[in-house]
Amino acid sequence: MKVQIMGEMENNGKKPGFVLHPVLFAAYPVLLLYSHNIQEATFLDTIPSMITIVGITLLLLLLGALLFRNITKTGVVLSVSLLLCFSFREAFYSAQNLLHVGSMPLALTVLIIWCLIFISTLYFVVKTHKQLRNITKILNVMSGTLIVIVLASILSKGHRSNSSMHNIAAVDVEHSSFVPAAANELPDIYYIIVDRYARADSMKEFYDFDNSEFINYLTAKGFYIAFESNSNYPGTAHSLASSLNMDYLHIPCDQAGPSSASWLSLYSMLENHKLGLLLKAKGYKYIHFGSWWNVTSKNKQADINVNYGWLSEFSRALYKSTVLYPVLRVLFGWDEYRLKYERVLYKFGKLAEIPKMREPTFVFAHFLLPHLPYAFDKDGNFVTRIEAMRKGDKAGYIEQLLFTNQKIKSFVENVLAGSEKPPIIILQADEGPYPKRSMVKDDYKWQEVTTDQLRQKFGILNAYYLPNVDKSALYPSITPVNSFRLIFNLYFDGQYELLPDRSYVFEDRNHLYNFFDVTEKLSKNKADK
């Protein structure tokens, strides 16, 4: 009797069909996720996930063929397993929208059904004496068709996205408007972003919370608090692209077009930001403390990137679409709450080591605090997803903000005590909290936001520690776009003109560069209050 390594002969001597479908089914969810996020991700973001999933599938296909001498049966089991694994989340959400049942019972029900389908498939494949060539052909055609459809979608969307992309030119550092200084004269610079940290009056008005104890602490330490500061834009990408490049977005983003939905122009500005180029040319060592968000997770300009966790944002999104995510979350607590908890503590620990470094350092640190998920209580204890849901958003925000205050105080004490030369510190929010969660939807029209909602979204913490200079140049309504223009002027003999402090919204997430000036609306709202 003849035995094949990758299959077996049937009684009539025919060879098994070509088994391609498991590999295609493995590649499909990666390509599908990319096609849905082509305005935010690049194809390079897909490669680690593609290699991992396709590689594991090929390995299992080979092992199954070697162990059971039947590649067609192994292929069928693998394909069904992949389909079940990557369709779990969509099946759960579809059932939830249809039945309006509680999350935990419904998830358990779908999981049981999925297990029964897998067990039934496995039983059938093991028991049948057929070679399953026809099923193999059907699965090859089905998987191939899905790949063709998703590739056509990617090509179509990619053409539209690339036509609106804008490559940000490198800054002409030699002709930048500031005078270099000797390395031993350079103060360390800390640019700490506390995401969605609301302004003191906004916090009192919308959260019924008095943050004066923390504000008074900063003031006593020598910080200037810009009590009337607003963000320049209502979201992280726009806001940081503006502040890190010390300019408004209209000129560079005009080339993307007002109807563009591609975030890639903004992401290019964040990756190649002017501030990093200028300070590195001046002799600074750039240390980048990243978040889970792919755009600030690391920066290629940085001499050192500090982060926690090895999964990229794309890989994590893919993992969360599988049946593994809810199972591992329940069994081991592996979810975004636990990861955030560990990442934040890790980053603050590493931040405490910066004053020990001898060379002048520029630190950019993006902390998703008090930004949700609310993984900390006020004392810094871990809060699970279920506990956070019971508390609600308002209580969760306040408790995580109180924890944030504690960590910032520790950071300030450490850096002021440990620095040989008094450092420059900016504590700044990139945006305020969202008044309602529906505002993050793609079709939400920002020009329809009420004045109260604008006040809550744009009012931000903006605090400056600027030693050994005349602080009279600071003023209560300074916005992030002027932060480093002012610092270069005060410390490096820069000749930057301060820009008018304006606030803009974009139309919606399908028109990211169609801007509307809401400065007067915010001012009118303030006067009415």
Q: What is the DSSP string of 298-319?
A: --TT-SEEE---S--HHHHHHH
Q: Is residue 53 part of a domain?
A: yes
**C-alpha radius of gyration, the chain, whole number:** 27
Residue 286 and residue 479: Cα distance in Å, rounded?
Answer: 23
Q: Which burial class, exposed, middle or buried, applies to 440 when counting CB atoms under 10 A from its CB (0-12, 13-18, 19+)?
A: exposed
Query: Can you give the pLDDT at residue 276?
Result: 95
Same domain, 198 and 136: no
Q: Are residues 223 and 86 in the same domain?
A: no
Domain presence at residue 6: no
State the residue range of the domain holding 450: 188-373+399-528
pLDDT for position 130: 80
Count: domains in the chain: 2
**Which of 128, 163, 198 delimits the end of a domain?**
163
Residue with tokens 């990442």: 343
pLDDT at residue 220, as a whole number = 97
- The domain boundary, picked from 112, 128, 163, lies at 163
Q: Which of 163, 180, 214 is the last residue of a domain?
A: 163
Residue 274 lies inside a defined structural domain of this protein: yes
User: What are the start-end ranges of the H helices in 435-480?
Assistant: 451-458
Whether 358 and 233 share a structural domain = yes
Residues 157, 205 share a domain:
no
- pLDDT, residue 61, reads 92
What's the predicted TM-score (pTM) here? 0.85
Same domain, yes or no, for 194 and 138? no
CA-wise closest residue to 75 among 140, 12, 129, 161: 140
Sign of the CA dihedral with 446 first, then 448, 450, and 451 last: positive
Task: Report yes or no on 339 lying in a domain.
Answer: yes
The helix/strand/coil state of 226 is coil
Decide if 200 contacts 492 (C-beta within 8 A): no
> What was the pLDDT predicted at 183?
55
**Same domain assignment for residues 150 and 272:** no
**467 three-state secondary structure:** coil
| Residue ranges of the chain with per-residue pLDDT less than 70 | 1-17, 100-102, 158-184, 251-259, 437-438, 442, 524-529
| Cα(168)–Cα(166) distance, integer angstroms | 6
Same domain, 324 and 446: yes
Query: Is 392 contained in some domain?
Result: no
pLDDT attached to residue 518: 93
Backbone phi, psi, residue 300, to 5°: -70, -20
Residues 6+ apart with CB under 8 A from 485: 246, 494, 496, 497, 498, 499
Judgement on whether residues 40 and 98 belong to the same structural domain of the protein: yes
Do 356 and 470 belong to one domain? yes
Residue 522 lies in a domain: yes
pLDDT in tens, 209-266: 999 999 999 999 999 999 999 999 999 999 999 999 999 997 555 555 666 778 888 8
Task: Give the CATH number, domain containing residue 254.
Answer: 3.40.720
Specify whether 46 is located in the same domain as 155.
Answer: yes
On whether both 119 and 246 belong to a single domain, the answer is: no
**Residue 168: inside a domain:** no
- 123 and 208: one domain? no
Report helix, strand or coil for 512.
Answer: strand
Residue 107 lies in a domain: yes
